[in-house]
């Protein structure tokens, strides 16, 4: 079997243009505002950066060509998204930040023509932002989506939705919501979920408080959202009724991988900053980079970067082949989230006191990447799913051999 790990020339060129744009235009703005996108200008900054990305020819690499994007598959997204993630504001500039990037991917695969016209195209062009409303306060849906408690019931000409969501990224200022609600069954039962599309102006939708979290680079915060007798028409159903959990997998697996791509870019920046420091900093009679303990941290960072990329490549190949890639995405997400944190943490350690100060970007990078071990599924949940599938396969093999 021939294995070609090279990227097409067009992908390499797009990654190179992204690298230049992010480092020359975006990174100085991030540094000037300590990675806080609200302090840097919020949506006003987003529009400015996205116009710059269009002019640089790097805007919306993931979006369908007919929506003004580059139409990249999962494998080809990896080097481009990684270069964008080198700055915390880079994904916003290219319109590939969460949750919009994942919503573009899902709408392109599931939405009908009218929904694509109303929701996908404006989102892909950067005219609006969006939010994916699934997570709920306990005892509702969190790491266990089957606990979904928000409910939609039949009403004249459509559906009436009631529920309480939280940790909804980008909710403040979103132009529309993709709402996961239970249309059959009871919390704890598998199946019975449906996705609905609703503009932010729909009566009954209320964005509440911003939940204070470690990260500061995502527009619109992580908010509580209330759905009080929200009436939507039948045309608001995304896909088919009662198939919401199934459709969510179209979004979640790829979105986990694009998260890894973006945060790997941030980890690479941390590593580069630390390398530049230890290459010149004098201590204990030599440069720090010549000391064995520091060299071990440098080498471990290089190993984690290479291993994360390798797992990404395999997983993205499976996704591009149309495979579910359930194991691969869980493995790559879990390893990647933990490796990315290790890379940034080692980089802080190599730089000592200045590493935890505002003089270098390392402290804010550490703050930003830490939640990734929880976002898109905690490491423990992914490990449980990996082990459950492995043990199940072993049991089936034993039964088949009897």
How far apart, in whole angstroms, are the C-alpha atoms of residue 229 and residue 99? Answer: 25
For residue 91, the surrounding DSSP H or E stretch is helix 90-94
pLDDT by residue (tens digit) across 123-159? Answer: 999 999 999 999 999 999 998 999 999 999 999 989 9
Is residue 360 domain-resident? yes
Same domain? For 373 and 256 the reply is yes
pLDDT by residue (tens digit) across 339-391? Answer: 999 999 999 999 999 999 999 999 999 999 999 999 999 999 999 999 999 99
At 190 the pLDDT is 87
* Final residue belonging to a domain, choices 215, 242, 269: 242
Give the distance from CA 2 to its chain's centroid.
Answer: 31
At 4 the pLDDT is 85
Is residue 2 domain-resident? no
Q: How far apart are the first and last CA of the chain?
A: 34
Domain carrying residue 162: 130-242
CATH number of domain containing 221: 2.40.110.10
Token digits of residue 167: 């940790």
How far apart, in whole angstroms, are the C-alpha atoms of residue 31 and residue 396? Answer: 54
pLDDT by residue (tens digit) across 4-39? Answer: 889 999 999 999 999 999 999 999 999 999 999 999
Alpha helices in 232-283 (DSSP H): 244-280
Token digits of residue 284: 């204990």
How far apart, in whole angstroms, are the C-alpha atoms of residue 348 and residue 365? Answer: 9
Identify the CA nearest to 338 among candidates 311, 357, 363: 311
pLDDT by residue (tens digit) across 227-276? Answer: 999 999 999 999 999 999 999 889 989 999 999 999 999 999 999 999 99
Give the distance from CA 22 to its chain's centroid.
Answer: 18
Is residue 3 domain-resident? no
At 103 the pLDDT is 97
How far apart, in whole angstroms, are the C-alpha atoms of residue 180 and residue 161? Answer: 10
Same domain? For 86 and 203 the reply is no
Q: What is the mean pLDDT of the chain?
A: 96
Same domain? For 236 and 253 the reply is no
Identify the CA nearest to 103 among candidates 90, 116, 94, 89: 116
Same domain? For 298 and 395 the reply is yes
DSSP 23: I
Q: With 90 as the cut, is the pLDDT of residue 283 above it?
A: no
Same domain? For 199 and 255 the reply is no
Identify the CA nearest to 312 among candidates 341, 342, 332, 340: 332
Strand pairing of 222-233 and 205-210?
A: antiparallel
Q: Which residues pair with 233 in a beta bridge?
A: 158
At 3 the pLDDT is 80
Number of structural domains in the chain: 3
How long is the chain?
A: 402
Same domain? For 101 and 85 the reply is yes
At 5 the pLDDT is 87
Helix axes 74-84, 292-320, angle to 10 degrees: 140
Q: How confident is the model at residue 1 (pLDDT cuts 50, 70, 90)?
A: low
Q: With 70 as the cut, is the pLDDT of residue 319 above it?
A: yes
């Amino acid at each position: 079997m021939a294995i070609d790990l090279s990227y097409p020339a067009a992908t390499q060129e797009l990654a190179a243009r992204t690298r230049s744009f992010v480092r020359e235009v975006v990174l100085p703005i991030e540094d000037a505002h300590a990675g806080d996108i609200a302090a840097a200008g919020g949506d006003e900054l987003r529009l400015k950066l996205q116009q710059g990305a269009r002019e640089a020819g790097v805007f919306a690499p993931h979006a369908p060509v007919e929506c003004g994007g580059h139409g990249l598959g999962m494998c080809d997204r990896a080097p481009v998204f990684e270069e964008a993630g080198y700055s915390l504001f880079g994904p916003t500039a290219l319109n590939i930040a969460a949750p919009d990037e994942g919503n573009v991917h899902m709408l392109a695969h599931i939405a009908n023509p009218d929904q694509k016209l109303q929701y996908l195209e404006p989102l892909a062009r950067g005219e609006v932002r969006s939010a994916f409303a699934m997570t709920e306060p306990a005892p509702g849906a969190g790491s266990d989506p089957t606990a979904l408690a928000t409910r939609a019931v039949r009403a004249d000409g459509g559906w009436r939705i009631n529920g309480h969501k939280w940790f909804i990224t980008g909710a403040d200022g979103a132009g529309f919501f993709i709402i996961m609600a239970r249309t059959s069954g009871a919390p704890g039962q598998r199946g019975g979920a449906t996705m609905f599309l609703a503009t932010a102006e729909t009566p009954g939708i209320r964005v509440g408080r911003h939940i204070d979290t470690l990260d500061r680079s995502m527009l619109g915060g992580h908010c509580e959202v209330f759905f009080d007798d929200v009436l939507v028409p039948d045309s608001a159903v995304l896909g088919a009724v009662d198939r919401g959990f199934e459709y969510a997998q179209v979004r979640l697996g790829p979105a986990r991988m694009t998260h890894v791509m973006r945060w790997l870019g941030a980890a690479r920046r941390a590593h580069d900053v630390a390398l530049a420091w230890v290459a010149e900093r004098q201590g204990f009679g030599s440069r720090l980079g010549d000391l064995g303990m520091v060299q071990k941290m440098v080498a471990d960072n290089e190993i984690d970067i290479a291993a994360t990329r390798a797992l990404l490549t395999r997983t993205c190949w499976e996704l591009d082949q149309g495979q579910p890639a359930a194991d691969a995405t869980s493995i790559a997400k879990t390893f990647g989230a933990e490796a990315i944190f290790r890379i940034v943490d080692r980089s802080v350690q190599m730089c000592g006191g200045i590493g935890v100060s505002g003089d270098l970007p390392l402290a804010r990078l550490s703050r930003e990447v830490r939640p990734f071990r929880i976002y898109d599924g905690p490491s423990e949940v992914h490990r449980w799913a990996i082990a459950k599938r492995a043990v199940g396969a072993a049991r089936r093999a034993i039964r088949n051999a009897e």
